[in-house]
């Protein structure tokens, strides 16, 4: 079963990570658009290539819908902690993402100046200068790093063939440490190939990348819902906590969800 957001503006939902979080889905409401095809993605497999996408909400529609929602929330005394770009895929693939970020900041400042703007992204478009400048305006950039080894990155995240882990790390370095890394730990068998990104070899490689990136926080979690690929197993909380300890021993912050 897949989980898709059926609206452009959704929630607010209570999020353990982001508090009272009002979501913005810049992707279509009926299918996922992403530059990755992660084997664990709650939105299901990537069936439509990003270049064939249609039905993205317009910049004007996003701003109008967001303003309407924020006005309602203000009249109800319902204060968001975060306005969060998430939803059915990778938000930075929206061609008007930089303009939408500007509108969102202006609306946040008008209605709830204390709310944070958060972006959940896979970091695949940070090398694009306009996208990067827009991301740098967010309060929290939460960027994905699920592997320290190239082969594992391709097995788990299934990016386009020419997008390497090294390129993703270069993109993460643009933030100069002002970012949050989120890492999904899983194991199992995919296409008759066993994998496990929690082995000592995998975590050592991942940790060495974290030490270069120097994020302000590392969010560690495992699967909580059904995944599109069969044969994926969740990592127990105790093991996730051991990994978090390993991160904290280096002086970085880590939290398990």
Task: State the residues that interact with ligand SF4 by CB under 6 A.
Answer: 34, 36-38, 41, 43, 46, 89-90, 122, 144
Minimum CB separation of residue 73 from ligand SF4 in Å reads: 26
Measured in degrees and rounded to the nearest 5, phi and psi for residue 130 equal -65, -40
Minimum CB separation of residue 107 from ligand SF4 in Å reads: 24
As given in the structure block, the two tokens for residue 149 are 């080894």
Q: Among residues 46 and 84, whose Cβ is nearest to ligand SF4?
A: 46
Q: Among residues 108 and 125, whose Cβ is nearest to ligand SF4?
A: 125
As given in the structure block, the two tokens for residue 33 are 């658009």
Other CB atoms within a 10 A radius of the CB of residue 201 amount to: 12
Residue pair 123/172 in contact (Cβ under 8 Å)? The answer is: yes
As given in the structure block, the two tokens for residue 85 are 């770009």
**How far is Cα 10 from Cα 25, in angstroms, rounded to an integer?**
8
**How far is Cα 143 from Cα 77, in angstroms, rounded to an integer?**
31
Minimum CB separation of residue 154 from ligand SF4 in Å reads: 13
Minimum CB separation of residue 184 from ligand SF4 in Å reads: 8
Minimum CB separation of residue 144 from ligand SF4 in Å reads: 6
Indicate the Cα dihedral angle 227, 123, 143, 210, nearest 10°.
110
Indicate the Cα dihedral angle 133, 42, 158, 124, nearest 10°.
0
DSSP 52: G
**How far is Cα 42 from Cα 239, in angstroms, rounded to an integer?**
22
Minimum CB separation of residue 223 from ligand SF4 in Å reads: 11
Q: Among residues 112 and 182, whose Cβ is nearest to ligand SF4?
A: 182
Minimum CB separation of residue 112 from ligand SF4 in Å reads: 26
Q: Among residues 74 and 163, whose Cβ is nearest to ligand SF4?
A: 163
Residue pair 42/3 in contact (Cβ under 8 Å)? The answer is: yes
Q: Using a CB cutoff of 8 Å and minimum separation of 24, what contacts does 238-245 make?
A: 239/185, 239/198, 240/185, 243/185, 243/198, 243/203, 244/218, 244/220
Q: Among residues 209 and 229, whose Cβ is nearest to ligand SF4?
A: 229
DSSP 148: S
Q: Among residues 125 and 144, whose Cβ is nearest to ligand SF4?
A: 144
Q: Among residues 52 and 76, whose Cβ is nearest to ligand SF4?
A: 52
Residue pair 253/218 in contact (Cβ under 8 Å)? The answer is: yes
């Amino acid at each position: 079963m897949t989980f898709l957001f059926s609206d452009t503006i959704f929630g607010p939902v209570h999020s353990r990570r982001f508090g009272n979080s009002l979501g913005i889905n810049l992707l279509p409401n009926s299918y996922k658009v992403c530059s990755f095809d992660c084997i664990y993605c709650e939105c299901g497999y990537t069936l439509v290539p990003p270049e064939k996408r249609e039905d993205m909400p317009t910049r004007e529609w996003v701003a109008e819908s967001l303003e309407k929602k924020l006005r309602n929330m203000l009249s109800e005394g319902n204060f968001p902690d975060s306005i969060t770009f998430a939803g059915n895929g990778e938000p930075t693939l929206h061609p008007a993402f930089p303009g939408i970020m500007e509108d969102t900041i202006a609306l946040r400042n008008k209605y709830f100046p204390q709310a944070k703007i958060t972006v959940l992204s896979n970091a695949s478009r940070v090398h694009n200068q306009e996208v990067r400048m827009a991301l740098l305006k967010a309060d929290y950039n939460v960027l994905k790093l699920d592997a320290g080894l190239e082969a594992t990155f391709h097995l788990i995240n299934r990016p386009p063939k020419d997008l390497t882990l090294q390129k993703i790390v270069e993109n993460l370095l643009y933030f100069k440490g002002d970012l949050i890394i989120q890492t999904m730990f899983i194991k199992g068998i995919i296409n008759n190939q066993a994998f496990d990104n929690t082995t000592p070899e995998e975590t050592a490689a991942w940790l060495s990348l974290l030490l270069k990136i120097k994020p302000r926080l590392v969010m560690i979690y495992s699967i909580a819902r059904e995944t599109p690929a069969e044969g994926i197993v969740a990592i127990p909380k105790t093991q996730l906590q051991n990994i978090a300890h390993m991160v904290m021993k280096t002086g970085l912050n880590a939290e398990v969800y």
